[in-house]
A and B are shown apart, each in its own frame.
Chain A
Amino acid sequence: MNFLAGIGRAVLSLLAEIGRLASFTARSIAALVSPPIYSRLIGQQIMRIGYFSLPVVGLTAFFTGGALALQIYLGGNRYGAEAIVPQIVVLGITRELGPVIAGLMVAGRVAAAIAAEIGTMKVTEQIDALTTLATNPIKYLVVPRLVAAVVTMPILVAIADSIGVFGGYVVATQSLGFTGSIYLKNTMDFATRQDITSGLIKAAVFGFVIALMGCYNGFNSKGGAQGVGRATTSAVVSASILILAANYILTSVLFNK
């Protein structure tokens, strides 16, 4: 009986959490489409979320592209299909690895920072102070972060795609014996517009998820420093899981023949 009660409690608590998240998302979207728009804050968040994530996203994309080229060469070698490296690298990077790797890296960097900042504001009553100063906290804190993440993630992923392909190019030409011009020609000829746009659509969705989970967990943090720590961890874990789940759903929708 205790076991069943435990399961019941867990299910109820999960449903309550989903309800709270859905309500927070609806309030955020409603705030997104109503004035005032804090363009100055959006600009600041674009710098924090987008510009300052460039080094980490660029580095991971470069090494991922290089490792991918190496693996495809070794795998293709078993069937005498080594020449397919540029095609598979560009496909893998633009469709999957570019957006997912960038999404996960930005989730680790940005969702944590957002949750910690908003969580600290919550426990030090700064969010209540916003309300008393006739400022809607959702509009002031959540909307600029959502807009900035949705706008900058596709740009970050476009850059990650280019650097990832370049990583594959460097490995292929420097250690696998490919000719540079042929590698690039095969890459350009094979990649389609849909390969690239599907990755950019995914990136925008991942940006929304990252900012939303950072803000939601920050807004719901309580109990001082420990609560802020818990909110930060939850933000990164939940954003990462949701990115991977959304990636699967988007792949099946975008490539459903």
Chain B
Amino acid sequence: MTAKIQLIGVKKSFGSKQVLNGIDLTIEKGSSLVVIGGSGTGKSVMIKCVLGIITPDEGTILVDGQDVTHLRGSAREPVMKKFGMLFQGGALFDSLPVWENVAFGLIQGRGMKRSIARDVAIRSLAKVGLPEDVAFLSPAELSGGMQKRVGLARAIAVDPEIIFFDEPTTGLDPIMADIINSLIASTVKDVGATALSITHDMASARKISDHIAMLYAGKIIWTGPTSQIDNSGNPYVDQFIHGRAEGPIKMAVKA
């Protein structure tokens, strides 16, 4: 197996708060890794460092063996074209209809003609179980679950090599969360992508991953196959996956 994404000693602090304290993580090509951890442990900061939205203070991030840590502007564009991302809140562009949201990466990022991109967007929407008439609605007219589906359709429309999922089930009822998890698992398999997700929802983590890593105090404290998560032998992981108040993890009240 070859590493698709590798984080080596990644550190990031905001003022005096050290959020990432030397992250070492490898995601193999074609695998689906979920990073679990409590709120405020730096999961989103980690994923934003890989995406190039936040620059780490120290450490190296490799994508397909290429150092992308400090790549910016036009030099970063070829790397960004490998990525698709589903944001926690959907992050749909509310000034554009649904189909243009889905086709955005194709029209703006890849210069595809609008009429062709619209057909691709409608096919992407069908893959996530949305009918054609949804394509012409505004994002504000959709429910939370439908917005997540549109976000997923947008992420896969560009045929990415790597898909990132940021808390994909947050804010959804359990049934809709399960539907979205199944969609994520099947679409990732269909497009043959590598997936990196962050969540604190264990049901989601078990369903969409083949490997799990746990982030605590700015470091990866455990990583292994999803099937081994219940026998990790790590008291931090045990406390987290069983959602116990008592244990070695003390929740910070303030961010």
Contacts and interface: CB of A to CB of B under 8 A. Distances in A.
A124 interface: yes
Contact of B105 (A117, A121, A133, A136): A133
Nearest to A131: B53
A128 B91 contact: yes
B84 A135 contact: no
Interface SS majority for chain A: helix
Contacts of B92: 126, 129
B87 A134 contact: no
A121 B85 CA distance: 16
Given A125-B88, A125-B91, A126-B91, A132 B51 contact: yes
Indicate the size class of the contact surface on chain A: 10 to 19
A140 interface: yes
- Scoring A124, A134, A135 by chain B CB atoms within 10 A of each residue's CB, the highest score goes to A134
Given A128-B48, A128-B53, A135 B89 contact: no
Contacts of A126: 91-94
Contacts of B154: 133
Interface string B72-98: 010001001101110111011111000
A134 B109 contact: yes
Contact of A125 (B84, B87, B105): B87
Contacts of A128: 48, 51, 53, 87, 91
Contacts of A124: 89, 91
B33 to A, nearest CB: 18
Nearest to B77: A134
B83 A132 contact: yes
B213 interface: no
A129 B109 contact: no
A13 B14 CA distance: 17
Indicate the size class of the contact surface on chain B: 20 to 34
B138 to A, nearest CB: 14
A129 B155 CA distance: 10
B2 interface: no
A129 B73 contact: no
A105 to B, nearest CB: 24
Interface string A140-163: 100000000000000000000000
Nearest to A34: B74
A128 B110 CA distance: 18
B52 interface: yes
Contacts of A136: 73
Contacts of A125: 87-89, 91
Contacts of B52: 131
A129 B93 contact: yes
B99 interface: no
Interface in B181-209: none
Contacts of A117: 95
A135 B91 contact: no
Contacts of B109: 133-135
Contacts of A131: 51-53, 80
Contacts of A129: 85, 87, 91-93
21 contacts: A121-B93, A124-B89, A125-B87, A126-B92, A128-B48, A128-B51, A128-B53, A128-B87, A129-B85, A129-B87, A129-B91, A132-B51, A132-B84, A132-B85, A132-B164, A133-B104, A133-B105, A134-B81, A134-B108, A136-B73, A140-B108
The 5 closest A-B pairs by CB, nearest first: A134-B109, A134-B80, A129-B91, A133-B105, A132-B85
Interface of B: 48, 51-53, 73, 77, 80-81, 83-85, 87-89, 91-95, 104-105, 108-110, 154, 158, 164
